[in-house]
Structure 1
Amino acid sequence: MSRPKFLSFTQKNRKGYGLLTEEGVVDLSARYGARWPTLREVIEEGSLFRLAAESASLSSDFPAEDIRFEIPIPSPEKIICVGVNFPDRNEEYKDGQAAPANPSLFIRFPRSFTGHNEPLIRPPESAQLDYEGEIVIVIGKGGRRIAEADALGHIAALSLCNEGTIRDWVRHAKFNVTQGKNFDRTGSIGPWLVPYTDEAQLADINLETRVNGEVRQRDRTSRMIFSFRKIINYISTFTTLVPGDVIVTGTPTGAGARFDPPTWLKPGDIVEVEADGIGILRNTIADEVSA
């Protein structure tokens, strides 16, 4: 069964949100924008499924080719990323250590991401732009100290992320990776949001990353070191999760940094992140153009 695909877009210099159909884009923001200015407010009210049902009979307003995809949740309060969340990824570090008891986390800023079909930008400071395909969960019901047993009930939707990284800049300091993870438009989120229904929807997702058609990463969410339940429980212990928060849940082995020699993304490359039941997030690579 096809699941609703909610997207945020720019069309003729106007930002909006809508529903992607086989015919094109149903402009929901034109109809419901006074009540819900963005998808974040739709999620906060728990109305994704209601909106999908009400929109099912609507005709598209313009073809998908007429829009620029934006990240689905504009200006989320938090984008929290999980590092080292697959067994083979942990082994890549060759430090002899077992998987840690708790997830490694870091923060990314919204400006460090772009949308589907937009280029990831390689900055002039480094040629070491790398890819990381990941599953995204979007929080629908906020909370603090959320029990693992209740955690999945706090998910509103799923999406995809290419958590692009400037590798040498994650080693500029002793204890953090913030710099290498936050260059403008080095990552992407999208193409859309798929509403979350039940645990079976994400229990064993096949996640794959391709560069120019070559499979570089492939694994399944059933093998994650830290489950979606654990991630939500752990994060909500120290911070209050709110509707629209974005959690990027970790990448499999196979990033370019682990090749010998390392293989970095270059202008003209096409990177695709694909996952069962969600879709394909596609981006090209381009060099930053001086203002």
Structure 2
Amino acid sequence: MILKTTTNPLLLAFVCLFVSFTKLQAQSFEAISSAIRVNDCNQNELFNTTGSGTRLLGPSANVFDNSNLGVFTQNSGTLTIGGAAVLTHKEALANVCNVRLYYRIYLQNATPPAYTFFNITFLEDCDIPNATFPGGGECVAGDQKWIRTLPTPINLTARPAGKYILETYYQLTGSTTSTSLCNEVVIVDNGGTPFKSSFAIQSPVLASNNPTTCNGTEGLITISGLLTGADYQVNYTDDGVPVGPVAITANGAGQVIINGLNAGVYSDFELLINGCSTDLFT
């Protein structure tokens, strides 16, 4: 009998395919979640780019992609990139040796420039017996946490007035076949495109016009250099008496106009939008 030497060709093909797939999966490395740190007048938090549930690195309400970060005054330093964090996973025979965040900033409708990057620092491995990171957060064997807080945040307000796009993606370097090599790259993005958010830079300028008649109320204060259609609140003093907040929408010329003013001393102007205030001086 020769039954011992016969093999079902279909079964053999299936077994080989299964073994090959299992081997590939056992040697992979990837990003489980990722986030970019955005600092503004109200918070200093991570904004999630990938991840879900308890594996998110930032608050669940903080979603970076397609978000509008707000309106900020030029050179105020009130909008910055403060760093980034990535949670990676590697199988037993794999390696992750470097994580980077790439970013670029450009005016809407302008040609995007080349990307700039900074490295994200390895922080800790998963504490396997406890299934948690030493610094907090659930994990499984092979999970690693990478975090970078920039000593000098990237000041997004240090650019001319206008509407901007902030794009970002991540690059993981490692190996699927070695625990020491760093010869393969995994890109973490939004399905082949970068993660994007938008923001606007304003450059407020204060000007005044006196009444044109004796004891008249034709005087006005104009704040120009603002974002067209944006809703502002304005505080000021009229002969030392506080006024406001006054809710005004910037007109098509990017101006907020306070009219109907009589002769007097108007000062201590404060412009507020999306939780950020700008002091203007007469």
Q: Common fold, TM-score beyond 0.5?
A: no
Of the two, which has the highest radius of gyration? 2
- TM-score, scaled to structure 1: 0.25
TM-score, with normalisation over the residues of structure 2?
0.25
Work out which structure has the larger RCO, using CA pairs closer than 8 Å and 6 or more positions apart in sequence: 1
Greater helix content: 1
